[in-house]
């Protein structure tokens, strides 16, 4: 299979590290004109230069940041809603402000960007919208219920948008990574098992916290990016309204 995105413009939000950066790298390798995004101008510029792509610094977790981004980039063919935050916190100790912050960043960012870009894709007869959700959308983590809630919301949003865009040539899907070796997850795992080397912390995390993993290791960001790149391709034209797993078998069901 030869995935060729030459001539397509792809925006990947939250793409200065982790899954987002790996996705930007993979899409660029497939020929797309990629735009990386993050909140810090210096970091965006550094990643854009290293990957040989464009960069736009804007906080998509705010309405103002989205407005700035779409003003500078009015049209895209591929939108990867990857920007997101997570943090452990006991559910009864999460204040309203944190529930709202997680919803703004993880859900409303994708709503606002899709509301702008998807109708324009439909008018051209082709487009791809991808939400980077999580296995936490269907296996709500007790230690961060607010995060799981936002990821479940992304699945509903993705399906609803796919239905609205039926027959337009625009597909909308969610990709569900499992525990992935990003900088944030490394810190999270280390924080849960601080007294051992990381390899042992990873083993304990998967054995105790995510015992259903069939991969028995943390997923690599590029492994998730491979699925996202496929979903963004012409070859995935018949795939829409779906929740596609790159979870290493963590979710112990046949369907999400």
CA distance linking residue 20 with residue 64, whole number of Å: 21
Kindly report, residue by residue over 12-21, the tens digit of the pLDDT: 999 999 999 9
Q: Which residues pair with 56 in a beta bridge?
A: 37
Give the pLDDT of residue 202.
95
**Which range of residues forms the domain containing residue 19?**
9-178+220-245
For residue 83, tell me if it sits in a domain.
yes
Residues near 207 by beta carbon (within 8 Å), at least 6 away in sequence? none
Percent of the chain with pLDDT over 90: 98
* CB contact at 8 A, 52 and 96: no
- When divided into structural domains, the chain yields a total of 2
Question: pLDDT tens for residues 71-83?
Answer: 999 999 999 999 9
Q: What is the CATH number of the domain that holds 149?
A: 3.40.50.720
- 110 with 204, same domain: the answer is no
CA distance 86 to 110: 16
Note if 193 is an active site residue. no
Give the pairing type, strands 78-81 and 9-12: parallel
Q: Within 10 A of 183 (CB to CB), how many other CB atoms are there?
A: 10
Q: Cα dist. 115→42, 111, 129, 224 in Å?
A: 28, 6, 11, 25
pLDDT in tens, 142-170: 999 999 999 999 999 999 999 999 999 99
Residue at token pair 């702008």: 116
- Whether residue 119 sits in one domain with residue 240: yes
Has residue 45 been placed in a domain?
Answer: yes
Q: Is residue 1 part of a domain?
A: no
Same domain, 214 and 224: no
> What is the C-alpha separation between 166 and 199, in angstroms, rounded?
46
Task: Supply the pLDDT for residue 154.
Answer: 98
Whether residue 114 lies inside any domain: the answer is yes
Q: Which of 103, 117, 147, 193 is catalytic?
A: 147
User: What is the structure's pLDDT at 255?
Assistant: 82
Judge if 39 and 66 occupy the same domain. yes
Do both 80 and 190 map to the same domain?
Answer: no
Q: Are residues 104 and 23 in the same domain?
A: yes
């Amino acid at each position: 299979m030869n995935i060729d995105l030459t001539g397509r413009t792809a925006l990947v939000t939250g793409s200065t590290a982790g899954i987002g950066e790996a996705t930007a790298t993979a899409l660029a390798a497939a020929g797309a004109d990629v735009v990386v995004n993050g909140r810090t101008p210096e970091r965006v510029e550094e990643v854009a230069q290293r990957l040989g792509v464009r960069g736009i610094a804007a906080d998509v977790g705010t309405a103002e940041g989205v407005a700035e981004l779409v003003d500078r980039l009015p049209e895209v063919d591929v939108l990867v809603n990857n920007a997101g935050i997570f943090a452990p916190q006991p559910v009864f100790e999460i204040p309203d402000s944190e529930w709202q912050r997680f919803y703004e960043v993880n859900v409303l960012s994708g709503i606002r960007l899709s509301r702008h870009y998807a109708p324009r894709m439909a008018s051209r007869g082709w487009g791809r919208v991808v939400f980077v959700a999580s296995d936490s959308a269907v296996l709500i983590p007790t230690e961060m219920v607010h995060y799981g809630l936002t990821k479940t919301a992304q699945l509903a949003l993705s399906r609803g948008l796919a239905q609205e865009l039926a027959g337009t040539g625009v597909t909308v899907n969610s990709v569900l990574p499992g525990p992935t070796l990003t900088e944030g997850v490394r810190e999270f795992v280390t924080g849960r098992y601080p007294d051992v080397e990381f390899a042992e912390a990873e083993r304990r995390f998967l054995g105790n916290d995510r015992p259903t993993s069939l991969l028995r290791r943390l997923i690599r960001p590029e492994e998730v990016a491979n699925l996202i790149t496929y979903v963004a391709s012409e070859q995935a034209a018949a795939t829409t309204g779906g929740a596609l797993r790159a979870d290493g078998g963590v979710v112990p069901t046949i369907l999400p």
